[in-house]
A = this chain, B = another copy of it.
Amino acid sequence: MKQINIETVISFFKQLQDDICIQLEKADGQGKFVEDAWLREEGGGGRTRVLTDGAVIEQGGVNFSLVSGNKLPPSATAHRPELAGRTWQACGVSLVIHPKNPFIPTSHANVRFFIAEKAGEEPVWWFGGGFDLTPFYPFLDDIKHWHQTAHDLCAPFGENVYQEHKAWCDDYFYLKHRNETRGVGGLFFDDLNQWSFEQCFSYVKAVGNGFTDAYIPIMEKRKNTPFQDEHRQFQLYRRGRYVEFNLVFDRGTLFGLQSGGRTESILMSMPPLARWEYNYQPIEDSDEAELSQFLTPREWLTE
């Protein structure tokens, strides 16, 4: 029988959290992540790390969590009867960065692993994850760099991986009631188990490690661009859409809140400040108007 060593996954995820925090602190140059370690009564716990009021990052959170249980809820086993009667563990790293400067996009990344076990039977497991970018101002070069990084890290895993996970990302981060994507996408995948465990794990490592390669150069490039209050106001307005997506559509957020997850860690993804304005319309041909052309699925690398 195949042995799956979850400890190697946990160990990588913790290391990844450390690495990302160090790199983000370095890029910020001022802010420091503060850790809040917590335990979950039913099993497991986490390390929530939050950086506030940095030089570049207005608020950023990088979470590691490991949760486990002896029995999955009926909602989880209804469509997957093979999971009934199994113990389970889920772990992951999840992060959201809300920068101050409106010319730096907000970004999100996540890698996660789930395993359900039963003595004498093959374990059931899968990985999920991805990263996606939510710009406020349309800089095509930044988006190309983001997607090129995603493309290149996917390449060793198959020629369609980037296209498939890029399309999945566009599909997932979509606000139906606004008829727009949350941002310019990136990668999204779930239920990944069709390759060997080692191959899937390697891919997840590449995605997790790829986040900073994709994001930090954009932070560096835009962090000193001067901005006016009108840019800030537009950023706050667009952050409202981020809130709408996370609270209305994001399955992880809703599942977490409904299943009694740790609210403060889940809602660490919320922006530090957001605004709504009835029927806001950007000035024609402005940068703000042009953003809408970025909020629809596009083939960034061949444009």
Residues on A facing B (Cβ under 8 Å): 36, 48, 50, 52, 59, 61, 176-178, 236, 240, 243-244, 247-248, 254, 257-258, 263-264, 266-268, 270-279
* Nearest CB in chain B to that of A263: its residue: B177
Contact of A274 among B264, B267, B268, B274 (CB under 8 A): B274
* Nearest CB in chain B to that of A179: its residue: B263
Interface centre among A52, A177, A254, A273 (most CB of B within 10 A): A177
Pairs A–B under 8 Å by Cβ, sample size 21: A48-B278, A52-B277, A52-B278, A61-B278, A176-B257, A177-B257, A177-B263, A178-B263, A236-B273, A243-B274, A244-B247, A247-B247, A248-B248, A248-B257, A264-B279, A270-B276, A271-B276, A272-B275, A272-B276, A272-B277, A273-B274
In the complex, the count of this chain's copies comes to 2
For A236, the chain B residues whose CB sits under 8 A away are: 273
Given contacts A177-B257, A177-B266, 15 further A-B contacts (CB under 8 A): A36-B278, A48-B278, A52-B277, A59-B278, A61-B278, A236-B273, A243-B243, A244-B247, A247-B247, A248-B254, A248-B257, A267-B276, A268-B278, A272-B275, A273-B273
